[in-house]
Amino acid sequence: MDKKTKPIADRKLLGIAGAAWMFDALDVGMLSFIIAALKMEEGWNLTDVQAGWIGSTQSIGMAVGALLFGAMADKVGRKNILIITLLLFSVGSGLSALVGTVSLFLILRFFIGMGLGGELPVASTLVSESVAPSKRGRVVVLLESFWALGWILSALISYFIIPAYGWRIALILSALPAFYAVYLRFSLPDSPKYEELKPKEKQSMLQNMKKVWAKEYSKQTLILWVLWFCVVFSYYGMFLWLPSVMLMKGFSLIKSFEYVLIMTLAQLPGYFTAAWFIEKMGRKFVLITYLIGTAASAYFFGTAEELPLLITSGILLSFFNLGAWGALYAYTPEQYPTVIRGTGAGMAAAIGRIGGILGPLLVGYLVAANTSISMIFTIFTVAILIGVIAVAFGKETKNTVLE
């Protein structure tokens, strides 16, 4: 492929994979608003602990999905797994609009989580393996920027649909991406690096999982696992509870949704600046800088009493946290060779999802125990700083050619 057509191919790949990424974010983002709406709906009698379990059950599914589908992607290809996971979370989301009990809602959120958790590391691996080293980091961060589009879309749907038409209609809308899987089947090519693998190079899923901890990969695996745990623990603990935290600080449901939408818009410049810095300054620079910014913003958001500081710190929290996420997805697949890249990225994401289980659950129990919001956000601040320390010991992968 010549130099004139290559950028067009990259943009097409980014758009196709990015749309799937956006639908993933739409579902995750909408859940935070739906939890807030369920807590106010008669008949559900949703407690703070149950609300925490909704987010945590989805994260349990995401952990299982990341581990299972990440490993399967090294056996049957990145494209096939991307389609399967997209169908799983879209259909599950539509079905959850029909339930009337917390228990059934939780069961479906588990399966939705499996699809969500499996799609993300597989999509980032596919894009990483399809783009030239000189722009790989930037393209993967731009892929992650579609997460912000999904969150903005979820905030808009939640703001305009949930108060007027109810949360069930919002969930039915989130099932529409299932039709996108048909488009992917015919329009998305698989990873060229994966297709170059010979059948004898493809090992069993268990062998691949063991190889991730082989001597030559053990250090980066440990660093990634600590980093992923800290980032996901703090992200889901903070962002799934964001509308509810605004309610606790005295704002109405409509105002809470409005302010969260404003904060969500800051995710896009966070991604775009990270995409620019990641090829200029490197992966570690972006991760460390943006995580420190996240930690500081989280602390001030938790302690804010006045609206101006609350909105400003919330905007900066979205800006820095999502920029760091983009760098994390660019950095992770670069640590492993093609034969175990899906497995390595999936296992790291699965460990992260354990943090995603504990984060929302912890907030639910702490809120029920009348723990202050400032103390809760201080816990997340410390967790993020531990992630900073971990990545400081990692290797820089800027411009490296994938094995």
Q: Tokens 């966070």 sit at which residue?
A: 270
How far is the C-alpha of 352 from the C-alpha of 62, rounded, in Å?
9
Q: How many CB atoms lie within 10 A of CB 382?
A: 13
Q: Alpha-carbon torsion 103, 120, 395, 270, what sign?
A: negative
pLDDT score of 67: 92
pLDDT score of 9: 66
Query: Both tokens of residue 185?
Result: 């089947």
Q: How many CB atoms lie within 10 A of CB 159?
A: 18
Q: At what angle do helices 48-76 and 218-239 cross, to 10 degrees?
A: 140
C-alpha distances in Å from residue 304, one per residue of 298, 308, 314: 10, 9, 10
pLDDT score of 392: 94
Q: How many CB atoms lie within 10 A of CB 38?
A: 18
Closest to 29 measured CA to CA, from 233, 294, 236: 236
pLDDT score of 382: 96
pLDDT score of 169: 93
Q: What are phi and psi of 282, to 5 degrees?
A: 105, 165
Closest to 379 measured CA to CA, from 392, 393, 391, 362: 362
C-alpha distances in Å from residue 109, one per residue of 94, 178, 381: 11, 16, 28
Helix, strand and coil in the chain, % to nearest 5: 80, 0, 20
| pLDDT digits (tens), the chain, 403 positions | 434 334 336 788 888 888 888 888 888 888 878 888 888 887 788 887 888 788 778 888 989 999 999 999 988 888 889 889 988 988 998 999 999 888 999 999 999 999 988 988 888 888 888 888 888 888 888 888 888 888 888 888 888 898 888 889 999 988 887 788 777 777 778 888 888 877 777 788 888 899 999 999 999 999 999 999 999 999 888 887 777 777 777 777 667 777 777 887 888 899 889 989 998 899 999 999 999 999 999 999 888 878 888 889 889 998 999 899 989 988 999 999 988 998 999 999 999 989 888 888 888 888 888 888 889 999 999 999 999 999 999 888 886 766 6
The widest CA-to-CA distance across the chain, in whole angstroms, is: 62
How far is the C-alpha of 319 from the C-alpha of 302, rounded, in Å?
16
The domain 9-183+212-392 is classified under which CATH number: 1.10.10.10, 3.30.565.10, 1.20.1250.20, 3.40.50.10490?
A: 1.20.1250.20
Distance of CA 125 to the CA centre of its chain: 14
User: pTM score, two decimals?
Assistant: 0.80
How far is the C-alpha of 160 from the C-alpha of 165, rounded, in Å?
8
